[in-house]
Each structure stands twice: as C-alpha cells, then as structure tokens.
Amino acid sequence: MPNKISARDVAIVYRGKLDREPVLACHSVDLDVEEGSFVSIVGPSGCGKTTFLYAVDGLLPVNGGEIRVNGKPINGPGKDRAMVFQSASLLPWRTVWSNILYGLKLKGDYQQDKSAKIESLIDLVGLRGFEKRYPSELSGGMQQRANLARALAVDPDILLLDEPFASVDAQTREKLQVELTEIWARTGKTMLFVTHDIAEAVFLSDLVIVFSARPARVRATVRIDMPRPRSLETKHSARLQEYFKQVWSLIESSA
C-alpha cells in the first residue's frame, strides 16, 4: 500500500497568542500512514500530538522538514483531509443537519444529491431524529457523532481525529469506538487518530505511534496484530492488555 501521509524530519513551533513565547512542539518527527490504515498517536499529555495533527490538516505551518499527503507537500487545509475535532467544535447556532452540511456548503456544492448524502450520513452515524436539534440539546456522544458526520460529508481521503471521545462518558465511548471501526471498514478512509487513552488507541488501530515528551519525536511504533472486526470482547481481551502494558511503559519511559 502507498503512503497516504508521510512526515519527514518535521519540526513545528507552536505560538498561541501574539504576546506568548513560542514553543517547540515537535522536533524531527518521521512517520508514515499507509492508505486505508488506522493509525493512532499517543504520548504524554502536552507532548505536541494535537499540534502535529493540526499541521497535517494544514492548520499550522511546518517550520522544518516536510509533510506530504498523497505524495504532495501540503499547503494549508485541503479537500483530501477532514478533521474531527475535540468536543465543542460544532457551530452552536446551526442545527445538526446544518452543521453536517457546513463543509459542503463552503465548497459551494449545491448538487441535487446533497440532502440524500446528508440523510445517509445521519443514518451512518446514528443521528436519525436529531437533525433539527441544536448542539446544546445533544449529549456529548451525540455531538461527536455529528462532528464525525460533518467531516465525512466532504468525502475526504483522510480523516484526522483529535481525541474525539475524550469528553464522552466511559460507556458511550466504548460504543462509539466500536462504531468508528465499523464506519472505517465501510468507508475505507485512512484514519489518523490522536488520543491519550491507550486502550482506545490499541483497540482501534493497526499501528500505534508513541510520541516522546515535548518536543515530540516518534519514540516507538507498535504494530497491533489483532483480528478484525474487533468487538467489545476484543476491548477486554488479554491480548489487548498486553499491548496496553507495552505502550504504557513506552510512554512512561519517555515522559
């Protein structure tokens, strides 16, 4: 399989507000994501994994090295990538329907199949009956379903997910994780998933990439050799526990 994303010697300087000191978030990051694979990035908190994901999306410039998507160096956000943000990123003044439509609308995509597309996405993420609701009327889990649908609506090759289930309650989170693997299997997108939940990363991924403490480098890459489709049983299996311990000690030793 060809590489969908490849990062070479990437350095990213993160600057928050104008009057803040810049921070070296990533230094010399090398990684590859194969087409159609599910790859997670884990690491100590504040290590710069979200910053790296933003850079892949084109939201932040790369200050050294290069990130290529589909073989071409990225130049800002593009149609081939879409981001599923952390909680509270749905536009609160738009209904669920209108939020999912948002990316398409910006593209000026007013084709006839627009509403059929939204309808099928609403079914895919399980939001039937909530189309007319505002985000504030939804539970955290429901909001992240809408967030996922909004990213899928623009039909990207690559889905970038930034701790999408971090603020969802534990039971809903496990359910959403299983559903995400199903949606991934059905759509065949390439997934790059950032999380601090090691069990989540192991459960979802083909490859778990462990970042070191800031400035982030790739500390190790762990191939997750567990059969698919994975279910809740996989989540609680001894095999997953082994991977969990392995990844945990890698993070611990780098923090």
Partner 1 sequence: MSTTVIEPTPTGFAKPIPTLPPVPWTERYFRLLWGTVGIVGCLMLWQVGTSTGVLDPLFVSSPLEVLRTALRILPSAEFMGHLINTSQSLFLGLFIALVVGIFVGLPIGWFPRLNATFEPVIAAVYGVPYIAFLPVIIMWTGIGMTSRVIIVFWSAVFPLIINSIQGAREVDDNYLRVGRSFSATNLQMFVTITLPSAVPYILAGLRTSIGRAIVGVVVAEFFMSSKGLGYFINLKANALEMAPAFVAIVLLALFGIALVSIVTYIENRFCNW
Is 131 within 8 Å of 122 (Cβ atoms)? yes
Residue 91 touches partner 1, criterion: CB under 8 A: yes
Contact present, 70 and 47 (Cβ < 8 Å): no
Q: Which residues pair with 11 in a beta bridge?
A: 64
- Which of 15, 30, 61, 107 touches partner 1 by CB under 8 A? 107
Q: Which stretch binds partner 1 (CB under 8 A): 100-108, 121-129, 138-146, 235-243?
A: 100-108
Question: Does 85 participate in binding partner 1 (rule CB under 8 A)?
Answer: yes
- Candidate list 92, 188, 227, 229; residue touching partner 1; CB under 8 A: 92
Q: Which is nearer to partner 1, 149 or 222 (CB)?
A: 149
Taking contact as CB under 8 A, which single stretch among the options 22-30, 65-73, 76-84, 193-201 is the one that binds partner 1?
76-84
Q: Say whether residue 82 binds partner 1 (CB under 8 A).
A: yes
- Closer of 93 and 110 to partner 1 (Cβ): 93
φ, ψ of residue 127 in degrees (nearest 5): -115, 15
Measured between alpha carbons, how far apart are the two ends of the chain, in Å?
Answer: 33
Among 103, 141, 164, 215, binds partner 1 (CB under 8 A): 103
Give the Cα separation of 128 and 126 in Å (integer): 6
Report the run of H or E that residue 4 belongs to, with start and end. strand 3-14
**Site for partner 1 contains 78 (CB under 8 A):** yes
Neighbours of 216 (CB within 10 A): 28
- Helix ranges (H only) for the chain are 49-57, 96-106, 114-125, 140-153, 170-187, 198-204, 232-235, 238-254
Torsion angle in degrees (nearest 10) through CA of 41, 42, 43, 49 = 40
Query: Does residue 18 bind partner 1 (CB under 8 A)?
Result: yes
State the binding string over 35-74 for partner 1 (x if CB under 8 A, else -). Answer: -------------------x--xxx---------------
Q: Quick count: other Cβ atoms within 10 Å of Cβ 201?
A: 26
**Residues 131-170: x where in contact with partner 1 by CB under 8 A, - otherwise, as a string:** ---xxx-----------------x----------------
Decide whether 134 or 248 has the Cβ nearer to partner 1. 134
Position 248 contacts partner 1 (CB under 8 A):
no
Among residues 51, 3, 59, the alpha carbon closest in space to that of 23 is found at 51
Q: Name the residues that contact partner 1, by CB under 8 A.
A: 18, 54, 57-59, 76-79, 82-83, 85-86, 88-89, 91-93, 102-103, 106-107, 134-136, 154
